[in-house]
Structure 1
């Protein structure tokens, strides 16, 4: 029996328009003309026997029937995409897709990856950049993160602890920052826009109080570090991210570093998180983090 389905291209046009709220934006995303997307939506509405959108100013708004269809189509396309990616991964051989912050990737993970490939030459590691404001990166098998407060409870419970983390304020040696009776006094505090609670957690854990006159915020940790290196203020960062800068004297940590209880973890984000390749990666990064910490402590 043949399937009673509208064309897949019409469903894609509908889903993109529903998600973006605009035929123009949907056409841009799909690489089609505005007229082509409009025709596909009209054909889908004819097939459904009724309107799926209502006019909302200059845009479109789903009606009740359209919202019901959107839920079905979005779920089906997500499953189709994930299934297709699994087929591609299997065709390419053993692999693991890891999402993490750009700073962690650049300053720690990528420099250590040769060690993983030496031990697992047949496993490919695919990296995607994510941030604290994103619960998970689409298509990733594992998401590496320390700040998991915004994650669903189920994901927090499944998180695989990789290592301790320790945070501390850092600044350029020439920057005027003073520690007086457990008070860190400086002109400017540098804040990560999406993990601003880190300063509060640090104060609670360290017993220090921060007194500043101004605040600068940036959307990424590496920008916060660059701002501190440039003498713009004091940034709060994880110790591993600035280990080389501290060793070279480009940064100082006037209050040292204190641990954060949650630690660094790998959050499973797909069923492939249980694959042999993913398990090998988790085992390797756990050992590598411990070894690099031991090496740093020995040098200190």
Structure 2
């Protein structure tokens, strides 16, 4: 039986307009004219026999029917895009799609990635970003993470440990910090909004306590590091993420780095997680992380 589907571009025009809230912005994203996008939306509504958008001032808002349709269309387009990009990657060269935090990508993975290409010149690595707050695989084959508390139990159980990790407090060299016995005192403690338990784990593992008059929170680790570099307070970060800053004297560690039991792991996220390219990436990560 033939599929009863509207034209693909009509669905793309609908999804882009709904997501961006504007035919003009949708046309810019799709590389079409305003008139072409409007025509496709009208054709889709005529085909459906119902309005998918209502007028809202000078803009548009989804009708009830449009709100019901949008999630299915967006998901279908996401799946189609991921499958298409994966096919293109495989057509060009064996590849692996890796998701990780922006901080890990910027401060460790990308600076070390040349080593992977030297070892495997015929393979390619595609990167996308994820976070502890929102696990966004985006079609990834492998997800790199050390805070996996929010991951499903199945993913936690099959995570492949690739390295030990050690976290410790860091701050600018001239930031006032008092260390007396087992207590570290400062004016401001910098907290990651979505992994705030890290400070408690550090205190337990280091057998130390930190006291502060205020807390400053950020949604990403690299923002916590930048805040520490700017002298805004004391941040708790993984040692590899600030290795160069400590060596250069841009940051200091007023107390020790201590291991966190979960370590850094790679979580398989697709059926291609056992491909030759994925296995090569995992093996390289283990070797590279052992070297620092």
TM-score w.r.t. length of structure 2: 0.86
What does 1:128-147 correspond to in 2, within 5 Å?
128-147=128-147
Number of the residue aligned with 1:199:
199
* Deviation of 1:236 (Å): 0.6
Q: Does 1:73 align with 2:73?
A: yes
Q: CA deviation at 1:162?
A: 1.5
| 1:60 aligned onto 2:67 | no
The alpha-carbon deviation at position 20 of structure 1 amounts to 4.5
DSSP-derived class of the 2:200 partner = helix
Residue number in structure 2 paired with 1:173: 173
Contact 1:89/1:95, CA 8 A, preserved across alignment: yes
Alpha carbons 1:205, 1:259 under 8 Å: kept: yes
CA-to-partner distance for each residue in 1:32-80, whole Å, 9 max, x for gaps? 45544333222112111223345667642342x4445334323322221
Counterpart Cα distance in 2 of 1:132 and 1:25: 31
Matches within 5 A, 1:270-289: 270-289=270-289
Q: CA deviation at 1:250?
A: 3.6
User: Larger deviation: 251-260 or 33-42?
Assistant: 33-42
Against the structure 1 CA distance between its residues 3 and 151, is the aligned structure 2 distance closer, same or farther, given a 3 Å change threshold?
same
User: In 1, Cα distance between the equivalents of 2:19 and 2:40?
Assistant: 16
- CA deviation after TM superposition for structure 1 residue 242, in Å: 1.7
Give, in whole Å, the separation in 2 of the partners of 1:158 and 1:233: 37
Q: How does 1:139-288 map to 2 (within 5 A)?
A: 139-288=139-288
Q: Given the superposition, is the C-alpha separation of residues 127 and 10 from structure 1 closer, same or farther in structure 2, using an over 3 Å criterion? A: same
Q: Secondary structure at the match of 1:121?
A: coil
Q: Which moved more, 1:21-30 or 1:206-215?
A: 21-30
Given the superposition, is the C-alpha separation of residues 70 and 245 from structure 1 closer, same or farther in structure 2, using an over 3 Å criterion?
closer
Unaligned ranges ≥5, structure 1: 293-300
> Which stretches in structure 2 are left out of the alignment for 5+ residues?
none
**More off after superposition, 184-193 vs 26-35:** 26-35
CA distance in structure 2 between the partners assigned to 1:197 and 1:27 by the alignment = 44
Q: Following the alignment from structure 2 to structure 1, what is the Cα–Cα distance between the partners of residues 113 and 154?
A: 29
Q: Does 1:43 align with 2:39?
A: no
Q: Deviations over 1:115-150 (max 9, x none)?
A: 222221211122334433331242332221212223
1:230: Cα distance to partner?
A: 3.5
The 1:201/1:24 distance shift into structure 2, 3 A limit, reads farther
Greater mean deviation of Cα atoms: 27-36 or 139-148? 27-36
Match of 1:295?
none
Root-mean-square deviation (Å): 2.7
Closer/same/farther in 2, CA of residues 175 and 70 from structure 1, 3 Å limit: closer
Cα deviation for residue 178 of structure 1 reads: 1.5
Distance (whole Å) between structure 2 residues aligned to residue 36 and residue 196 of structure 1: 49
What is the total number of aligned residue pairs between the two structures? Answer: 291
Q: What is the CA–CA distance in structure 1 between the aligned matches of 2:270 and 2:284, rounded to whole Å?
A: 19
Tell me the distance in 1 between the aligned counterparts of 2:35 and 2:74: 23
Structure 1 window deviating more from structure 2 (207-216 vs 16-25): it is: 16-25
Contact 1:136/1:143, CA 8 A, preserved across alignment: no
1:190, 1:236 within 8 Å by CA — same for their partners in 2?
Answer: yes
Give distance in 1, aligned partners of 2:151 and 2:247: 34
